[in-house]
Amino acid sequence: MDLFHELKKFKKIDPDPAYVRRSREMILSSIPEDPVLSPWRILVHSVQFGSAVTLAVVLLMLVLGGFSAWRFLSPFKLSSLDPASLKAEAQAIDIQIQLTKINYEEAQKAAARKAEPAAVPAKAASAPAASDSQASTSQTSSIEDVLQQLAQ
């Protein structure tokens, strides 16, 4: 057998035409078609792009704004001994103490009024022609003071 002679025969070998046609169809069908720009696709792309930009801006703002995750993760912040919260609660107590002082002083005044004779407001006693407007802006007497004057 002449080996070279046999090898030269290969040049003349052709594939089966049916196989060629089937293979070509298979190869061509696997190539992706050009994307169609449907409204839905445009919307999805817009949302994706918008989300990416928003996230980037938020991260940028947090970084530039001095945000620190440690502040929120700090066990001291999470604990019951946060000074800011304690201060707020203590201030509410201080306000109540001031209000109690006012109430105490009012009660003391009422008790003292019983013991002391009422002072007659000078303006009321000496201004017979006082007008309504003047009367409402002048030093006024309490009910007890007026009753004290009526009792005389």
Task: Give the binding site for another protein (CB under 8 A).
Answer: 74-76, 79-97, 99-104, 106-108, 110-111, 113-114, 121, 123-132, 135-136, 138-144, 146-152
Complex with another protein: residue 63 or 147, whichever CB lies closer:
147
Please give the full DSSP string across the chain, using - where no structure is assigned: --HHHHHHHGGG----HHHHHHHHHHHHHTSPPPPP--HHHHHHHHHHHHHHHHHHHHHHHHHHTT--HHHHH-HHHHSTT-HHHHHHHHHHHHHHHHHHHHHHHHHHHHHHHHHSPPPPPHHHHH-TT--HHHHHHSPPPPHHHHHHHHT-
Complex with another protein: residue 25 or 106, whichever CB lies closer:
106
Complex with another protein: residue 58 or 127, whichever CB lies closer:
127
Considering the complex, what minimum distance in angstroms separates the CB of residue 66 from another protein? 16
Rounded CA separation 41/30 (Å): 22
Complex with another protein: residue 19 or 70, whichever CB lies closer:
70
CB contact at 8 A, 141 and 121: yes
Considering the complex, what minimum distance in angstroms separates the CB of residue 150 from another protein? 4
Complex with another protein: residue 50 or 117, whichever CB lies closer:
117
Considering the complex, what minimum distance in angstroms separates the CB of residue 64 from another protein? 23
